[in-house]
């Protein structure tokens, strides 16, 4: 065949691809419409939006079908997951009925407070927002409250609890603070009704609660605060119970240590006058991801990070131990001692066990997505 | 309507969703088939697989169409990107013609050496692999080589270069080491023909070079090594030229500092006997991602990391400065000095400029994907 003819053939195939892609857009629109109708029917039945078993079956069937047709089962599962995420985002709102509930959100002007205010309000609850500046109205709003939710900064949460007016006996008292032990104890002292500590494991920029995690620390009267947890589950979140002390212990590693070491990394890059834009251009997907994890910190709230790190003096001790391990390991390098590094490496590999490989393959999946968009 | 009737309606809608999804699988199969045919035609024409402009136009058209139909433009773009990734992976192999070329890969038994050996071999080149144990064959293989590619560990690369037999004047000498200044200088001294230093910014687990980055440091005779870079580009990678010293400087921050701080983080978790499984269960997507970045290190090659960190004594000085900044900042916290933290934070925010927000939104996209698979 002549070159021209081949080029013509290429053009024809491209038109066919475009037509297929257009069909794809229409098919996705059709699917989103069906999903919206399913959402409406589920609401009538009072069924939850997210049914893990149904989803698993769906993926299994399509994977099998893909295999039979000779295309990648992972491809169809990834595509379906992406499509389903959109459906959740559109349907989640109207799924919870809280008509008649009075909800008071203290600190409702903050980003996380606003997110919950919107959720409750969309569900039909009457939402009152109290800011520290209009504390005088607190007794009025609180006297008929079914839920008082604290969305105030970590540093003031205890004082706010102490200043609360007396709440109705059946009113739930709950907080959204990233530290759980102290606020929970304070709430239990202040209020004799249902108490639960919550830690939403997502940022206020989250468009929907679907598949997000909310950690719950039991305070008092599980029956009494059940409707709150049910609403959160209906919005799509998973709830995981854990003791407050255990929560704070775990968070000191993940939150405190990661935040501070990313922070120091950023400070160091600035001190060394590194050209970040150049780093980005020279980055593999994995380095790009690591830079993102550092840089994104500085687009967020300095006070929140400072408060989380300073929340407990035990954090400083743990961080001191980290610095001294860093110092020790660097010293071994300076002395040309590679063997110690290898030995430490192998010990930590054992400590992570199978998780190390799991993390490697999971992150590879993410890197593939980063590469898609490059 | 009765509850039973509504439930029946739900069942019907679910069957319709299943039928739509099945159509989706068939449509994707059809698209992959068309893409494979396009790949074959492009090979006949000798055109590159990845044409950024064509891709951009494709996305733009489908986004517009989605908008008109009332579905999310991001949804269709994400889906198409995912589908296209699969096409690349299936087509990349047969796109380069190196019949008649003799390629010697020294250290071809390592993971990265194997990856390139496969690429060259699939492209029709005659590939000879030399390991340090069969060095005696080096003169025989090298005397007719068109390319000698060094895929040996950082610590031995200089010695291997010094030990090379004389190469034909038109033979390309290239290396894949993560440090570029010293090997490049050594290669230029050893060989009088074309020389280029390469740093593939991806791991050997990468299934395809499509959209990956290869950093290139010019040595000698750009004309002479052009066919090598063209092959790499045809395999789908982008090539970025940079001076060797500048490369090493940038990498000391991204590679060295990130590797070591992730390493120390892992050591610290092990020392503190943290239950990693519990951390995973308590993780938000962002913490999960951060844990993954630490844990994945320990599924990889300890020696490679040790060698990268120890490659240059200047690294230790830079790391010392990092430790002392960490120490200083922790001291400020211990003294209850929040104001200093806020001030530092704001300075680094300025330093990152618009990138901080860009990183935040980019990482949000990644987190959405992580949540999809939860």
Is B247-336 in the same CATH topology as B3-94? no
Q: Which residues of A touch B368 (CB under 8 A)?
A: 85
Which among A259, A246, A244, A252 has a CA at the least distance from the CA of A315? A252
Q: Do A290 and B338 touch (CB under 8 A)?
A: no
Using CA atoms of A333, A335, A341, A343 in order, give the dihedral in degrees to the nearest 10: -170
List, as ranges, residues 99-118 from A with C-beta within 8 Å of B. Answer: none
- The per-residue pLDDT of chain B, averaged, comes to 90
Residue B40, chain A, CB below 8 Å: the answer is no
Closest residue of A to B295, CA-based? Answer: A356
Closest residue of A to B72, CA-based? Answer: A86
Which among B108, B127, B147, B117 has a CA at the least distance from the CA of B227? B147
Q: What is the mean pLDDT of residues B350-363?
A: 90
Residue B58, chain A, CB below 8 Å: the answer is yes
Residue A15, chain B, CB below 8 Å: the answer is no
Facing B205 at nearest CB: one of A289, A356, A364: A364
Q: In this predicted model, which residue has the larger pLDDT, A24 or B362?
A: A24
Give the mutation candidate from B23, B341, B358, B364 for the A interface (greatest A CB count, under 10 A): B341
The ipTM, to two decimals, is 0.78
What confidence tens digit (pLDDT) does each residue in A344-369 have? 999 999 999 999 999 988 888 777 76
How near does any CA of chain B get to the CA of A164, in Å? Answer: 27
> How far is it between the farthest Cα atoms of chain A?
88
Q: Do A254 and B279 touch (CB under 8 A)?
A: yes
Q: Do A70 and B270 touch (CB under 8 A)?
A: no
B130, β-bridge pairs: B106
- For A176, phi then psi, to 5°, come to -120, 20
Q: In this predicted model, which residue has the larger pLDDT, B210 or A42?
A: A42
Give the mutation candidate from A267, A314, A354 for the B interface (greatest B CB count, under 10 A): A267
What confidence tens digit (pLDDT) does each residue in A307-354 have? 999 988 889 999 999 999 999 999 999 999 899 999 999 999 999 999
Q: Do B330 and A347 touch (CB under 8 A)?
A: no
Give the mutation candidate from B1, B40, B83 for the A interface (greatest A CB count, under 10 A): B83
- The per-residue pLDDT of chain A, averaged, comes to 90
Most confident of A90-94, A121-125, A180-184, B235-239: A180-184
CA B2 to chain centre: 57
What confidence tens digit (pLDDT) does each residue in A270-279 have? 999 999 999 9
Closest residue of A to B246, CA-based? Answer: A278
Q: Which residues of A touch B44 (CB under 8 A)?
A: 1, 6
Residue B370, chain A, CB below 8 Å: the answer is yes
pLDDT of amino acid B141: 94
pLDDT of amino acid A127: 95
Lowest mean pLDDT among A183-187, A370-374, B17-21, B314-318: A370-374
* Unique residue bearing structure tokens 């008071």: A104
Structure tokens at A114: 């606003």
Cβ contacts below 8 Å, chain A against chain B, sum to 468
Helices B302-310, A338-352: crossing angle, 10 deg rounding: 140
What confidence tens digit (pLDDT) does each residue in B301-315 have? 899 899 999 988 889
Q: Do A83 and B86 touch (CB under 8 A)?
A: no
How near does any CA of chain A get to the CA of B53, in Å? Answer: 13
pLDDT of amino acid B109: 77
Q: What is the mean pLDDT of residues B164-180?
A: 96
Residue B371, chain A, CB below 8 Å: the answer is yes
Q: What is the CATH number of domain A247-336?
A: 1.10.3660.10
Report the b/e string of B94-126 with b at 16+ CB within 10 A.
Answer: ebbebeebbbbbbbbbbebbbbbbebbebbebb
What confidence tens digit (pLDDT) does each residue in B79-107 have? 998 898 888 766 655 567 899 999 999 99
pLDDT of amino acid A374: 45
List, as ranges, residues 305-334 from A with C-beta within 8 Å of B. Answer: 305-306, 309-310, 316, 318-323, 325-327, 329-330, 333-334
Q: Which residues of A touch B252 (CB under 8 A)?
A: none
Q: Which residues of A touch B321 (CB under 8 A)?
A: 268, 271-272
Closest residue of B to A4, CA-based? Answer: B45
Q: Do B299 and A357 touch (CB under 8 A)?
A: yes
- For B200, phi then psi, to 5°, come to -70, 120
Query: Is the whole model's pTM more than 0.80, yes or no?
Result: no
Which among A156, A120, A111 has a CA at the least distance from the CA of A135? A156
Q: Where are the domains of chain B?
A: 3-94, 96-242, 247-336
CATH 1.25.40.10 applies to domain A3-94 = no
pLDDT of amino acid B374: 45
| Candidates 3.30.70.360, 1.10.3720.10, 3.40.50.720, 3.10.150.10; CATH matching A96-242 | 3.40.50.720
* Unique residue bearing structure tokens 């013509």: A8
pLDDT of amino acid B1: 66
pLDDT at residue B49 greater than cutoff 70 = yes
């Amino acid at each position: 065949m002549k070159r021209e003819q081949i080029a013509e053939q290429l053009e024809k195939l491209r038109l066919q691809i475009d037509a297929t892609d257009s069909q794809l857009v229409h098919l996705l629109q059709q699917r989103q419409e069906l999903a919206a109708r399913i959402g409406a029917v589920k609401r009538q039945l009072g069924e939850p939006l997210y049914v893990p078993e149904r989803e698993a079956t769906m993926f299994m069937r399509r994977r099998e079908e893909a295999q039979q047709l000779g295309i990648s089962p992972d491809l169809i599962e990834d595509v379906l997951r992406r499509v389903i995420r959109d459906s959740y985002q559109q349907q989640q709102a109207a799924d919870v009925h809280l008509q008649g509930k009075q909800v008071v959100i203290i600190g409702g002007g903050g980003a996380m407070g606003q997110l919950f205010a919107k959720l409750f309000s969309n569900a039909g609850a009457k939402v009152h927002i109290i800011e520290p500046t209009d504390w005088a109205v607190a007794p009025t709003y609180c006297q008929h409250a079914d839920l008082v939710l604290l969305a105030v900064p970590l540093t003031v949460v205890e004082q706010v609890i102490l200043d609360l007016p007396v709440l109705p006996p059946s009113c739930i008292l709950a907080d959204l603070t990233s530290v759980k032990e102290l606020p929970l104890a304070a709430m239990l002292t202040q209020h004799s009704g249902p108490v639960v500590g919550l830690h939403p494991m997502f940022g206020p920029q989250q468009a929907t609660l679907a598949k997000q995690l909310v950690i719950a620390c039991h305070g008092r009267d599980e029956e009494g605060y059940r409707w709150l947890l049910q609403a959160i589950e209906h919005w799509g979140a998973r709830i995981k119970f854990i003791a407050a002390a255990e929560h704070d212990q775990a968070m000191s590693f993940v939150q405190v240590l990661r935040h501070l070491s990313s922070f120091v990394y950023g400070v160091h890059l600035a001190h060394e006058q590194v050209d970040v834009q150049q780093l980005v251009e020279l980055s593999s997907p994995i380095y790009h991801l690591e830079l993102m994890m550092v840089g994104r910190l500085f687009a967020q709230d300095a006070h929140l990070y400072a408060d989380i790190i300073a929340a407990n003096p035990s954090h400083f001790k743990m961080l001191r131990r980290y610095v001294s391990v860093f110092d020790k390991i660097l010293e071994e390098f300076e002395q040309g001692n590679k063997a110690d590094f290898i030995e430490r490496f192998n010990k930590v590999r054992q400590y992570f066990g199978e998780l190390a490989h799991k993390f490697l393959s999971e992150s590879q999946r993410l890197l593939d997505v980063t590469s898609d968009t490059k």
